Structure 1
Amino acid sequence: MDHALDAATLPPGATYIPEFLSREEEAIKDQLDAGEWSNALKRRVLHFGYLYDYRARAVLADAYLGKLPPWLETFAERLVTRGYFVDLPDQVIANEYLPGQGISAHVDCAPCFDDTIISISLLSQCEMNFRERSSSRSLAVLLHPHSGILLKGVSQYDWTHEIPARKSDVVDDTKVNRGRRISLTFRKVIQATGKPL
């Protein structure tokens, strides 16, 4: 694996966004913890805007949960203002990763969402791995707290991304233990069950 634990080497169309959130803004974890986390997966998740059905791998027609809460809409608007999204994201999934938890290699649902996704990291660092689907090429980047990773076009559809399920990462030849991490993934829903919303 090309083991680049910085933003210098990313798949085409991917952008690393350092310090997207301030340390003070990381307090939104309290808003998240006040919600009802779902334990349906190996990790806990919260959905906002629309529910994503993991079994169907789709946004079903009855998936609308309501507008994003103001504290998330603030970040959605910032993503548009800074030019990362053209249209306002209307779906957010919060994923909680405890040390040893991860998410397997995947590509986000192409018919469900537009071609841009951004994941914001809270609380702890972790490594994200990318694998090109048409070759054996792989890359890695360290996602720091408060940072974001943008996947658009080729990086979203032609590369898988994953968080390896482990308790630590190696950074500059040093083992760094993971803590509790929360990611906020922003997307724009364009279809539900194959039909326009």
Structure 2
Amino acid sequence: MDAILRAPHLPPGVLYFSDFLSCAEEETIRFRLDAGEWSNILKRRVQHFGYLYDYKARAVAADAYLGQLPEWLQTLAKRLVASGYCADQPDQVIANEYLPGQGISAHVDCVPCFSDTIISISLLSQCEMVFRERSSSRSLPVLLQPRSGIALTRTGRYDWTHEIPARKSDIVLGAKVERGRRISLTFRKIVHDAG
């Protein structure tokens, strides 16, 4: 059974769940991604599946469709629905690679582009994600462990930003823990009139 973390450690509408993937699944996914083509369009490497997201326009264009998710990603998307983490099956996935020292700035995933649930699955290395309430100075750090997932819905999706601080280590239980290579799989459902 997945261990689930809830408030007060998380913003409202955010759910953290551990052990979504087995170690064997994690290694298979890493192998599949590394056998694919990573893009260097950002400071970190990425791969898009289902639809291409335009980072400059912050939109999903009408011609952004890349094809159905590969079967291995469809299997994970179906598992997210079956486990109750999202209602609608995701049809867009971005794989992000983070090397030690890399992160992503505070943001809210494109509101008109994607439906109400955003899910990120972490692979290979732990890292800290920081949530910041947009209407105040309140922040909540969450340690993302390998093979875990985090779902952003409702208030946690729209009223809080999330970021991965760009650093080489995190403080875990008072001890400095070095980051390794991390891959995240972000699952989203396209709002089809967004383009």
Answer whether TM exceeds 0.5 for this pair. yes
> 1:47-104: CA deviations, max 9, x gaps?
0000000000000000000000011111000001111111110000000000000000
The alignment partner of 1:191 has SS state of coil
Q: What is the identity, as a one-letter code, of the residue corresponding to 1:131?
A: R
Q: Which residue of 1 aligns with 2:170?
A: 169
Q: Matches of residues 67-106 of structure 1 in structure 2 within 5 Å?
A: 67-106=68-107
**1:141 and 1:87 mapped to 2: Cα distance?**
25
Q: Which residue of 1 aligns with 2:44?
A: 43
Q: Percent identity?
A: 73
Q: CA RMSD in A?
A: 1.1
**Does the 8 Å CA contact 1:39/1:45 hold for their aligned counterparts?**
yes
Q: Which residue of 2 aligns with 1:116?
A: 117
**1:173 and 1:7 mapped to 2: Cα distance?**
22
Q: Which residue of 2 aligns with 1:133?
A: 134
> 1:107-132: CA deviations, max 9, x gaps?
00000010101000000000000000
**Does the 8 Å CA contact 2:120/2:150 hold for their aligned counterparts?**
yes
Q: What is the identity, as a one-letter code, of the residue corresponding to 2:11?
A: P
Normalised TM-score (structure 1): 0.94
**1:115 and 1:87 mapped to 2: Cα distance?**
10
Structure 1's 165 and 159: CA in aligned 2 closer, same or farther, altered over 3 A? same
Q: Which residue of 1 aligns with 2:158?
A: 157
Q: What is the identity, as a one-letter code, of the residue corresponding to 1:12?
A: P
Q: Which residue of 2 aligns with 1:18?
A: 18
Q: Figure out how many residues of one structure are paired with residues of the other and give that number.
A: 189
The alignment partner of 1:85 has SS state of coil
Q: What is the identity, as a one-letter code, of the residue corresponding to 2:14?
A: A
**Contiguous gaps of at least 5 residues in structure 2:** none
Moved over 4 A (4+): none
